[in-house]
Structure 1
Amino acid sequence: MPSLTLDEARDRTDLLTVRRMEVDLDLDRGAEHFGSTTRIHLTASRDGETFVDVAPVTLHRATLDGVELDATSLAERRLPVSLTPGEHVVEVEATMAYSHDGEGLHRASDPADGSDYVYGHMFLDAGPTVFACIDQPDLKAPYVVTARAPQDWVVIGNGRATQDADGLWRLRETQPLATYYVSICAGPYVQVREEHDGISLGMYARASLQAELERHAPEMMAVTRASFDYFHSIFGIHYPFDDYDQVFAPEFNAGAMENPGCVVIRDSYLFRGAASDDEVLTRANTISHEMAHMWFGDLVTLRWWDDLWLNESFAEYMAHRCLVAATGYDQAWVDATVARKAWGYSAERSPSTHPVAGSPAPDAKSALANFDGISYAKGAAVLRQLIAWIGDDAFLEGIRDYLGGHAHGNATLADFLGAMQRASSDELDVAAWSAAWLETSGVDVIAVDRQGTITRTPPQDRPADRPHAMDVATYSDGARTSRVELTLDSPSAQVEGLDLAAPLIIPNAGDLTWATPQLDGTTLDALPGQLPQVTDAQARAVVWVGLRDGAALSLVDPRRLVELGEAALPVEDDDSIFSRIGMHLTNRVIRVLLPEDEQDEARARMAAVGEQVLAEAEPGSSRALHAARLIARTTEDVDGRLRPWADGRGLPSGLEGDQDFRWIVLGQLARRGLLDEAGIDAALAHDRTMTGALGALTARAAIPTPEAKEAAWRELTTSRELSNYELVALAAGFWGPADRDLVLPYVERYFADVPAMSGWIGEDALSRVALMAYPSRIVTPETLRLSRATLERADLPQGVRRSMVDAQSELEEALLSRERFAR
């Protein structure tokens, strides 16, 4: 299937405008198919040949101004159309297929009660699988949508939905929308509603999650209200769309999608059991992030996919800013460091790194390759650098200029830079700043030596001259003994006023810039004794993320991280740091970077940390919850911990009846061969929910027998019935047996079988499966050889290629680390 190219998009923009879209959907035709009739009202500027995008199961009828088009001319989702100057109407009637891979109109069945639910996800180019359209982001148009649905269903969409006497749902006409922002959700959803600042707020969930929705809604509504108030105050434009509905949908691929007036969010955010403080913070961040998109992306939309950052970087930055300023989540920037920036730095280390802005996107599919931690986390960090350079008042003035000047239209990097230049001092060259920060790739290494010299080293293969507005701080026995703010705009400089005798010198301690801090030898040696005493959570987060980078680049022995985790995690009081670093130590450092013969002992040390924290933490606290999860992932105490917890005995306070925690424990028992198919079936009988079904799939894939591995692999790579979530669940359990010989034959099979799945799974879903199923735990030269050979294939799907490139980069890091720090 061809992907729309930039040249093709420009040709269509030059030829036509889309004035109005009318879409009629019939969702009452069973579980596999739905009806779709579309009327595209457009105006052509001249004679020209073009095409309408549509991907039907059956194309029943297509007309141009009432004249039948040749339906047999439809090829590869393109229906040719010949236009003359003036106004036209293209009408297309088709039968479409529901998807199970999270793209288009996804339909999922809830095993808790047998009910079906539908959500629409048109990003990036899935719109034509739902309705005929001119599918490119710069041809925005108002939408009028109707939907016929089963009698017990409700319908939610971009415009307020009302039901006629005959049962037909009509959605109010929208403001101009890009095709990929159109969404419709339908099913027996339950809801809570309230009003705020003239905006009707709704939250929807599956009927089986009604109790969870009602329990969590007050906190989520509070974040929603506070975010609206904050964004109204700084953007100067009231929310520009219809009702603001947030739909917690089953099997949603991403964290959330910012469809105007109909935000779709993964329903795992409606925590069934215990939820930690950092999980609630992450959900709050998601809510605020998607709302920021109502202005950045929805009101003002990128003209082409190479400006994806205009959506994501701004929403990422604004959400964290809003949480700190308006919602009481004052540790949001610490969470951003250990969760989001760590993700972005990992993307920067990969061969697939790219600039924040202006990355070539010759076709729509290639844009997905840049939908990563650089567009999100690095972009947000770069915006903080822009603010440090031009000032916050000028930044906000520029934002208001940008949003007001392009409202309900499209914009480019040049438009943004123009607004910032108008708002800033004439002496400042915003274009030069952009060339240094937005239009270059790579991350600089910042180091401070014991003579007070600070150095800035860009990657050798990606030279750049980036000025850093940042700080350097020193610590001794927990106290900060000095802090200096500076702008580093040269390769090196002398920092005056630092306490150079302090045990810890931490560059970028406030995490004000995008850079990897390289710690000096004295600081590295002092960390186990000193870091646990540092009271500044932001500085601790910076140290940990710097060590992650150092270990990945083979500059720091991964054993140092285990040693520091053993010393610092027992007293770590920031939820995000404890959670994210604990996961990184167990999932990456111990089971990938360390040699196999050292992994059991290192896991035992982490289990001991978990036991210590659990014994000392307040019962039922977030800290106790994280400690219990750490124990469940690492302990070898089968009879004292795993079996009793699986049976519901001796559980920590707050985890009684927590099925999600139970599935973690059951997965560990299955991996050890202590839970068979019958035991998993028995557990599933007590948790017949979507989450329970996923937990059972992961546990089955983890059973360490040849038969179980073969069955799991066959199901993962050949079943066309499994959803996107089910495929990921299988992959999550597959590679973990103690006996690696059980899975070694599947290393080669991965590189043949997973790319072949592109025949029936969408690009976005398959890229996630490819990343999760990659044999990253089999750290051998043979795995690397097979991976490199596969990447030489010309027919590799783009999403799979990007996932393999990133996973292979981490495999190369692990091989180098094991070689460099071999004992």
Structure 2
Amino acid sequence: MSSLTRADAQLRAQTIAVTAYQVELDLTRGDQSDHPTFGSRSAVSFTATPGASTFLDLRAREVHSIDLNGTPIDPATVTDGRVTLTDLAPQNTVVVEATMAYSNDGQGLHRALDPADGLAYVYGHLFLDAAPTVFACFDQPDLKAPYSLTVTAPPEWTVLGNGAAVHTGDGRWELATTKPLATYFVTVCAGPYASVTDEHDGIPLGIHARASLAEHLREQAPEMLQVTRDAFDYYHQLFGIRYPFGSYHQVFVPEFNAGAMENPGCVTFRDAMIHRGAATDDERLGRANTICHEMAHMWFGDLVTMQWWDDLWLNESFAEYMAHRTLSAVTGSDDAWVDATVSRKAWGYAAERAPSTHPVAGSPAPDADTALQNFDGISYAKGAAVLRQLIAHLGDDAFVAGVTAYLSDHAYGNAALADFLGAMEAASGRSLTGWAEGWLTTAGLDTIAAEQADDSVRLTRTRPPGSAADRPHTLDVAGWSDGAQVLALPAVLTSDEATLPVAGSEPAALLIPNAGDLTWATVQLSAESLAALPAELAQVSEAQHRAVVWVALTDGLAHASVDPRLVVDTFAATWPGEDHPSILSRTGFLLTARVLGEYLADRHVPAARTAVAGAARARLDSAEPGSSQALGAARVLAATADPELLRRWADGEELPQGLAGDADFRWLVLRSLAVAGEVTVPELESAREADNSVQGNLGALTARAALPDEASKAWAWEQLVGDGRSNHERNALAGGFWLGRHADLLRQYVARFHRDVPALESRVGQDALARVATIAYPRTVVEEATVAATDERLAAGDLSPAVGRALIDQQSVLREVLASRKAFA
């Protein structure tokens, strides 16, 4: 199907205005076949330029009838997902009746079976251009309209959607007419969901999940509802604009591609966020952050929607920033900002290093498929950091006033970059033309470094090669020696160099530019600071400063300026005393997945693995039993310990407190045993039967794909690229396939990846395909031949935007690893 172009969207928006949708969905038929279907009837009312023509979007399994203003249109004329509508009247109604196909790739109306009880669940994920697979529509973000939905479902099901749902009997549900919505925000969630309901400030609240998760849902709902209540209060107080979409449901759905989706009144989440085993504090913080992020979208994206996808930052950057701000405000803790540093900003810096980097705002988006690729660390993490710089530039009062005016002026409509900047300039009385050019409409990031002399600190800003962007940075510099902070210097860097006086201060052993993580820049630690890390970092009491150092090390690995062995030494020296859950979690992943998994040469891995396992054992032994720190340490041990210990843990013996019977932890252990070839297929199948659940199925697929033998790899590859697997199952297989140092075994699959994964395009939507192509890329075959194979495949010029972007970016990461190995051989 052709992707909607911006030019076509602009022309259509000049021709018509949509006034109402009436959609009827019948979910009671066609669900017993190998290719289940549902019934769809849509009546779309719109005004138009008299006599003009336009097109309606429709991607159906079978079209039964199309009627425009009482005149039938031959269903056979539907071409490439479009229905041509001609000779339009000033007032029009087009009615379409069709049979639609459920999806199994997380897009459109997705249907999943829970193996725990055999029950089926349905949810709508119409982002980014999947709405026409559910109902006929004018599918673009600036043609917003009210929706009235009616859903017929099996009688034992619950139905939820954007409007409050009322069961009128015989499985029929009527949903209240919504405020004007963009097509990609419409959703229906239906199935035998378990529910916990509440009310706050006049807003009905609901939290829902699969029936097999009912007990865990009831246990965890009070915490999630408290976050929801606090966030509502904060947003209402901050903007003075009440939540505008009636009831507020949060539905945890199976096999969801993203973390969550901000459907007004009915937010959908990945149901792995309902923890069925032990969860660390940073996992609970991450869930709270996601709740606050999606709620922020009710204003940023839902109330005011971008005109076109090149301004998606008006949705995502604001939701990203507001989530961290809200959690910090309601908890009185900086943990949300520390987590943002080590998780979100590290992700964003990786996106900025990639060949596909792009500006925060105004990135070219000639069509919807291209725009989809820009939902990345630039639009989220960098955009949020840029907003922090804007606040530093204008002041928080001006920022809040400008945002409030922007939301009020464009409520229930659409806006673009110029609208936001105009509101900010009016609120602050300052021009933002130069500031926006440097921070919003130009890609790239500066490098910030600091060196200390006897009586000053020299702070430098290095721009990317060839860049003329002049970005002012509001930041700080911290200095530490033997556990004491000896420097705390605020700075505004408006040129390439600044000298900060520090008369009377002793030299710092560890000098950290941007220690408070206020700006967006690569932090380059001096050679002296790098050398001091193993001795000094553990004594730094400020978690935010430690987080900035770890991100600087991550960037240094990617730039081949930091020896991965230094990262191992720093981890071994600091991790036994680290207490911040987010730092523990992210650095544990950095060491186990990236340093041990990719960066280190094979000969350095055994000693490094021993060092990492030793640090994890020390942290486990010193942690309070059952604490978040203990769980984080146990997970790193599960990835690095010797097979004898892992075998005992897999058998339920000698487990750390709180992990007995934890099926998710057992799958981590079994995966490590699989990578080492220390478990058999029958043993994995027995474990799957003992954990007959969605998570158990995925854990078994990952572990079996990780087995280092020819037969297991052949089976896993066929499952990955063949028919019948869902989006999450493909991701689970891809996540296990390349694990371990098995290049000789896996080398033959490099060519097969470049042939077979792009071919999935005919069966898998672009959103899901982008994820599987990223996860399945053969990064652990760290050879120039892998790079060359990707070059050859890219040169063919026939890849979809999703696969092309994934290959380009993953090849770039592989090049970083190759450069590091060469630099520190």
Do the two structures share a fold, i.e. TM-score over 0.5?
yes
Secondary structure of residue in 2 paired with 1:385: helix
1:700 pairs with 2:701: no
Asked if the contact 1:508–1:517 (Cα under 8 Å) also holds between the matched residues in 2, the reply is yes
- Of 398, 401, 418, 1:397 maps to 401
CA distance in 2, matches of 1:695, 1:675: 14
CA distance in 1, matches of 2:390, 2:314: 14
Asked if the contact 1:642–1:669 (Cα under 8 Å) also holds between the matched residues in 2, the reply is yes
* Offset from partner CA, 1:127-178 (integer Å, 9 cap, x none): 0000000000000000000000001101000000001133310000000000
Asked if the contact 2:28–2:38 (Cα under 8 Å) also holds between the matched residues in 1, the reply is yes
Asked if the contact 1:302–1:412 (Cα under 8 Å) also holds between the matched residues in 2, the reply is yes
CA distance in 2, matches of 1:462, 1:804: 25
Corresponding residue for 1:166?
170
- Of 215, 218, 234, 1:214 maps to 218
How many residues are paired up? 817
Asked if the contact 1:450–1:500 (Cα under 8 Å) also holds between the matched residues in 2, the reply is no
Give the letter aligned to residue 760 of structure 1. R
Secondary structure of residue in 2 paired with 1:298: coil
- Of 459, 463, 477, 2:464 maps to 459
CA distance in 1, matches of 2:740, 2:478: 44
* Offset from partner CA, 1:575-603 (integer Å, 9 cap, x none): 10011011011111222111111112211
Residue correspondence of structure 1 range 219-234 to structure 2 within 5 A: 219-234=223-238
Corresponding residue for 1:119?
123
Bigger Cα displacement from structure 2, 429-438 vs 466-475:
429-438
Asked if the contact 2:156–2:171 (Cα under 8 Å) also holds between the matched residues in 1, the reply is no
Bigger Cα displacement from structure 2, 216-225 vs 499-508:
499-508
* Offset from partner CA, 1:779-814 (integer Å, 9 cap, x none): 101001001111122210111111111111100101
When the two structures are superposed, what TM-score results if normalisation uses the length of structure 1?
A: 0.98
Report how far residue 189 of structure 1 moved.
0.3
Asked if the contact 2:597–2:739 (Cα under 8 Å) also holds between the matched residues in 1, the reply is no
CA distance in 2, matches of 1:555, 1:642: 35
- Of 234, 241, 247, 1:243 maps to 247
Bigger Cα displacement from structure 2, 411-420 vs 700-709:
700-709
Give the letter aligned to residue 554 of structure 2. R
1:190 pairs with 2:199: no
- Of 265, 270, 288, 1:266 maps to 270
CA distance in 2, matches of 1:85, 1:127: 25
CA distance in 2, matches of 1:328, 1:127: 41
Report how far residue 83 of structure 1 moved.
3.5
- Of 493, 498, 515, 2:498 maps to 493
Corresponding residue for 1:780?
783
% identity of equivalent residues = 55
What is the Cα-based RMSD across aligned positions, in Å?
Answer: 1.0
* Offset from partner CA, 1:639-676 (integer Å, 9 cap, x none): 2x111110111110000100000001111122222211
Report how far residue 500 of structure 1 moved.
6.0
1:326 pairs with 2:330: yes
CA distance in 1, matches of 2:462, 2:413: 40
1:294 pairs with 2:265: no
When the two structures are superposed, what TM-score results if normalisation uses the length of structure 2?
A: 0.98
Q: 1:2 to 1:628 in 2, by over 3 A?
A: same
Gaps of 5+ in 1: none
Corresponding residue for 1:347?
351
Asked if the contact 1:56–1:94 (Cα under 8 Å) also holds between the matched residues in 2, the reply is yes
1:596 pairs with 2:602: yes
Give the letter aligned to residue 498 of structure 2. A
Corresponding residue for 2:520?
514
Corresponding residue for 1:566?
572
Corresponding residue for 1:45?
49
1:734 pairs with 2:734: no
1:724 pairs with 2:718: no
CA distance in 2, matches of 1:501, 1:291: 46
CA distance in 2, matches of 1:565, 1:270: 31
1:743 pairs with 2:738: no
Corresponding residue for 2:4?
4
Bigger Cα displacement from structure 2, 482-491 vs 53-62:
482-491
Residue correspondence of structure 1 range 580-659 to structure 2 within 5 A: 580-636=586-642, 638-639=643-644, 641-659=645-663
Corresponding residue for 2:179?
175
Report how far residue 450 of structure 1 moved.
2.5
Asked if the contact 1:672–1:738 (Cα under 8 Å) also holds between the matched residues in 2, the reply is no
Report how far residue 738 of structure 1 moved.
4.1
* Offset from partner CA, 1:737-794 (integer Å, 9 cap, x none): 4443221110111001100010100001011000111000111010010011111222
Corresponding residue for 2:21?
21
Residue correspondence of structure 1 range 360-375 to structure 2 within 5 A: 360-375=364-379
- Of 457, 471, 476, 2:476 maps to 471
Could you list the runs of 4 or more consecutive aligned residues of structure 1 that deviate by over 4 angstroms after TM superposition?
none
1:547 pairs with 2:553: yes
Give the letter aligned to residue 158 of structure 1. N
Asked if the contact 1:281–1:329 (Cα under 8 Å) also holds between the matched residues in 2, the reply is no
CA distance in 2, matches of 1:530, 1:444: 26
Asked if the contact 2:361–2:417 (Cα under 8 Å) also holds between the matched residues in 1, the reply is yes
Corresponding residue for 1:83?
87
Asked if the contact 1:395–1:420 (Cα under 8 Å) also holds between the matched residues in 2, the reply is yes
Asked if the contact 2:480–2:486 (Cα under 8 Å) also holds between the matched residues in 1, the reply is yes
Asked if the contact 2:157–2:171 (Cα under 8 Å) also holds between the matched residues in 1, the reply is no
Corresponding residue for 1:532?
538
Corresponding residue for 1:448?
450
CA distance in 2, matches of 1:116, 1:723: 14
1:205 pairs with 2:209: yes
Corresponding residue for 1:576?
582
CA distance in 2, matches of 1:127, 1:228: 29
Gaps of 5+ in 2: none
Bigger Cα displacement from structure 2, 256-265 vs 73-82:
73-82
Asked if the contact 1:303–1:412 (Cα under 8 Å) also holds between the matched residues in 2, the reply is yes
CA distance in 1, matches of 2:780, 2:109: 35
Asked if the contact 1:305–1:367 (Cα under 8 Å) also holds between the matched residues in 2, the reply is yes
Secondary structure of residue in 2 paired with 1:683: helix
Give the letter aligned to residue 79 of structure 1. V
Secondary structure of residue in 2 paired with 1:268: helix
Report how far residue 192 of structure 1 moved.
0.4
CA distance in 2, matches of 1:401, 1:83: 40
CA distance in 2, matches of 1:321, 1:650: 41
Secondary structure of residue in 1 paired with 2:190: strand
CA distance in 2, matches of 1:670, 1:559: 26
- Of 404, 407, 411, 2:415 maps to 411
CA distance in 1, matches of 2:703, 2:488: 50
Bigger Cα displacement from structure 2, 393-402 vs 462-471:
462-471
CA distance in 2, matches of 1:349, 1:462: 14
- Of 91, 94, 98, 2:98 maps to 94
Corresponding residue for 1:754?
757
